[in-house]
Amino acid sequence: MKLTKKNALVLILVSLLLFACDKKEKEVQQKPKPEPPKLVTMLNVVPADTIFFSGGLEAFPLKDVLQWSSESFNVLKGLDPNSMLPLVEDKKIAGQRMAAQIWLDYYAIMLSPGEELAKWGVEDKPFLSSYTIGLAPVLLRISLKDTQIFNKKIDELEIKAQIASKPETLGKATYRRYALNEKDPSIDLIIGVDNERKHAVFMLDLGVDSEQTLAIALGQQKPEKSLAESGQVEALQKQYKLHPSFIGYIDQQQLITGLTTKEGNSIAKMIQQVVPQLQGPSELSGVSELFKELQTEGCRNDLTEIGNNWPRTVFGYTALELAAPSTRIDSLMVVENKDKAFLDSLQSIRGVVPQYVGNSAETPVVAAGLGFNLEKIAPFFMARWTALTQKQYSCSFLQKMQNDAKSQQPATLALMTGMAPGVQGLAFSLMSLELEKTEAGGTPMPKSIDALISLAVKNPTALVQTIGAFFPPLAQLQLSADGTPVQLPLPIPLSFPVMAAINGSHLTVYSGEKSQALAQGLRTETLEESQGLMAADIDYGKYYGLIGDTLTNLDTPDAQQDEIKAIFDNMKNAKMRVRMNMDVTDRGIEVKANMMATE
């Protein structure tokens, strides 16, 4: 069948339409997906070779954290800021007066965060960071809501400090310079504003490579490599499961590189500019010789090996919950160690920290525990002593340290620990304390006490017998293994009994009902289930209340009594409990802390 012109035209149009649609579909399919938006941080202005960093990957809830701290830990409310004014007025150097005024204003921020932060032009949730540019510390870099308000605040502080600085311009940034040292005018406090990014910068200019350092600090020159490019902070957050708003570290390896090389990083380059100034007849000539020694091949190799074993100290928040009712801030610090033999040896001395330190149902005034397996202490130190004295060092001051160690064998330690066989930990808990009113010059005596001291030991009965051989009054005690308490004979008369008992694997001494319950709870607590190095638990309200009551019970002048009472009346209203523990893991030495609001 022949196609008419009309049909042919229709067929061509349909074909073109189908071709166009197919092409469009392929273009859509082949079009790359848009990249996710880059995270806004301050890391792009921070040098990757900083030896210290504190900041985050997201904005920090500064106003909320300060408000929470002010409400829960209101110790500052009892202090009079006017009493600190003489410290400000007595400063002869302008920069020191300015620094003191900033400190006083920080005190005001702590008391009223919302109102005072607004006077600085700071955001409620700013980005903030601290770091170093070579040797120069950037004390604080913080994002602003309004740069004009910030500059106005600095003007006000200058008037109070009786300073008239001259604002200077560097690219799109402005800054002011304040001398801090009369003998060395090169050390200045710099307060600047990176107007392009709306960041305020507080830093110290050490007078070394000042122009470039200042340009990097104020965001007018890019660092050779930024922390954003290195990916270090993101890696730390992932590795240690840190909260993105607060992550920090100290880089021991960068510090060693700076001390032992001439161009290994920005610190090394700065030191090379400083060393020539230290040469010649001066008090600092010895420092110049030290740097020369550090940069020898032997010292560089020895210290680099040490740095490889102890690369960083990492810290940050692991939880940040400020919404009522269960408000808390958890933090972590890890002193990293890559020496498996050392960590295994250190783990062997872990002892017992009982559960009542940090995990008791009722909050103590203060509790603490040390867990050390005394039977393993001497072997541990002997192994470390052997490793230290047999190591081949090329660095002279490490060789001197080694020679000093050779003359101090740890045999005496073995003898001392042998006198307390089986001991694995010592702990105490103070639940309450009330003192008698004393006269002038008198010794305050306890009216009542609720406290516990416990000693974790493999064989408590055998230990009592051993100690009894050196301390006859203890030998007279008939402590049975079934936990029956016996009243302790004390050299001073008290109005309450102090009891001793063997509770499971724990030798306990206590007074008070709450502490008796804690002591009896140790009967079911084995030595294996409470391993650790150290732990502590403190309720700041109870703690400061106890100190305040103790001081007011002393016979002091009425005016002084009123002053003490005013301070501690505020302190004892603190609503914060802090728990901390330290232990050894395969990552290194770890310290965990938990701050929580109390009722």
User: Cβ atoms within 10 A of the Cβ of 254, count?
Assistant: 25
Q: Are residues 123 and 219 in the same domain?
A: yes
Is residue 441 domain-resident?
Answer: yes
Q: What is the mean pLDDT of the chain?
A: 85
Section 347-353 average pLDDT = 94
CB-CB contact of 335 with 589 (8 Å): yes
* 506-529 as b/e: b if 16+ CB within 10 A: bbbbbbbebbbbbbbbbeebebee
Q: Are residues 357 and 504 in the same domain?
A: yes
Q: Are residues 240 and 346 in the same domain?
A: no
Strand partners, 503: 506
The reported pLDDT for the residue numbered 561 is 65
146-155, 212-221, 436-445, 515-524: segment of lowest average pLDDT: 436-445
Q: What is the pTM of this model?
A: 0.87
User: What does R_g of the chain's alpha carbons equal in angstroms?
Assistant: 32
Question: What's the rounded Cα separation, in Å, for the pair 316 and 237?
Answer: 9
Predicted confidence (pLDDT) at residue 473 exceeds the cutoff of 80 = no
Max Cα distance, the chain (Å): 128
The reported pLDDT for the residue numbered 279 is 63
CA-wise closest residue to 333 among 581, 72, 11: 581
For residue 123, give the 3-state DSSP assignment. Answer: coil
Is residue 16 domain-resident?
Answer: no
The reported pLDDT for the residue numbered 555 is 60
Is residue 516 domain-resident?
Answer: yes
CA-wise closest residue to 53 among 314, 439, 393: 314
The reported pLDDT for the residue numbered 481 is 86
Task: Give whichever of 198-202, 282-286, 444-448 has the largest mean pLDDT.
Answer: 198-202
Alpha carbon 467 to chain centroid distance?
40
Number of domains in the chain: 2
112-126, 175-189, 288-302, 530-544: segment of lowest average pLDDT: 175-189
For residue 473, say if its preceding peptide bond is cis, omega within 30 degrees of 0. no
The reported pLDDT for the residue numbered 546 is 86
The reported pLDDT for the residue numbered 458 is 92
Q: Residues 81-107: pLDDT tens digits?
A: 666 556 555 567 888 889 989 988 988
Question: What's the rounded Cα separation, in Å, for the pair 143 and 194?
Answer: 9
CB-CB contact of 322 with 64 (8 Å): yes
Section 365-371 average pLDDT = 96
Section 311-324 average pLDDT = 94
90-104, 297-311, 326-340, 531-545: segment of lowest average pLDDT: 90-104
Q: Are residues 218 and 362 in the same domain?
A: no
Listed residues 228, 250, 272: the one ending a domain = 250
Structure tokens at 295: 């940069």
Section 462-470 average pLDDT = 78
Q: Are residues 220 and 365 in the same domain?
A: no
Q: Residues 402-444: pLDDT tens digits?
A: 998 888 877 676 666 666 778 999 999 999 998 887 766 667 7
The reported pLDDT for the residue numbered 533 is 94
Listed residues 216, 234, 250: the one ending a domain = 250
Q: Which residue has the tokens 């002091």?
A: 556
Strand partners, 130: 54
Section 226-233 average pLDDT = 96
Pairing of strands 366-370, 534-539: antiparallel
Q: At what angle do helices 285-294 and 252-260 cross, to 10 degrees?
A: 110
Is residue 355 domain-resident?
Answer: yes
Question: What's the rounded Cα separation, in Å, for the pair 395 and 288?
Answer: 16
Per the structure, the complete domain to which residue 433 belongs is given by 337-373+422-597
The reported pLDDT for the residue numbered 589 is 97
The reported pLDDT for the residue numbered 68 is 87
Q: Are residues 486 and 587 in the same domain?
A: yes
178: left (phi over 0), alpha (psi -120 to 50) or beta: beta
Listed residues 233, 250, 267: the one ending a domain = 250
pLDDT band at 289; cut points 50, 70, 90: confident
Question: What's the rounded Cα separation, in Å, for the pair 365 and 538?
Answer: 6
The reported pLDDT for the residue numbered 37 is 43
Alpha carbon 403 to chain centroid distance?
34
Q: Residues 138-193: pLDDT tens digits?
A: 999 999 999 999 999 999 999 999 888 889 999 999 999 999 887 766 789 999 99
Alpha carbon 134 to chain centroid distance?
22
Q: Which is more confidently placed, 9 or 163?
A: 163
Q: Are residues 225 and 345 in the same domain?
A: no
Q: Are residues 226 and 353 in the same domain?
A: no
Question: What's the rounded Cα separation, in Å, for the pair 228 and 362?
Answer: 46
Q: Which is more confidently placed, 29 or 511?
A: 511
* 362-379 as b/e: b if 16+ CB within 10 A: ebbbbbbbbbbbbbbbbb
Is residue 84 domain-resident?
Answer: yes
For residue 45, give the 3-state DSSP assignment. Answer: helix
Q: Residues 353-362: pLDDT tens digits?
A: 999 999 888 8
Q: Are residues 120 and 245 in the same domain?
A: yes
Section 510-526 average pLDDT = 94
Predicted confidence (pLDDT) at residue 24 exceeds the cutoff of 60 = no
Question: What's the rounded Cα separation, in Å, for the pair 270 and 134?
Answer: 7
For residue 403, give the 3-state DSSP assignment. Answer: helix
Predicted confidence (pLDDT) at residue 3 exceeds the cutoff of 50 = no
Is residue 70 domain-resident?
Answer: yes
Q: Are residues 343 and 236 in the same domain?
A: no
Predicted confidence (pLDDT) at residue 76 exceeds the cutoff of 90 = no
Question: What's the rounded Cα separation, in Å, for the pair 139 and 131?
Answer: 7
Give me the phi and psi of 562, to 5 degrees please.
Answer: -65, -40
Q: Are residues 354 and 498 in the same domain?
A: yes
Predicted confidence (pLDDT) at residue 281 exceeds the cutoff of 70 = no
Predicted confidence (pLDDT) at residue 34 exceeds the cutoff of 60 = no
Is residue 410 domain-resident?
Answer: no
Q: Which is more confidently placed, 280 or 218?
A: 218
Predicted confidence (pLDDT) at residue 17 exceeds the cutoff of 80 = no
Residue % of the chain over a pLDDT of 70: 83
The reported pLDDT for the residue numbered 7 is 44
Section 294-317 average pLDDT = 96
CA distances from 125 to 62, 357, 582 (A): 6, 35, 31
Section 503-511 average pLDDT = 95
Structure tokens at 544: 């400061």
Is residue 429 domain-resident?
Answer: yes
- Burial class from Cβ neighbours inside 10 Å (0-12, 13-18, 19+) for residue 138 reads buried
Q: Residues 263-275: pLDDT tens digits?
A: 999 999 999 988 7
Q: Are residues 212 and 342 in the same domain?
A: no
Alpha carbon 286 to chain centroid distance?
33
pLDDT band at 285; cut points 50, 70, 90: low
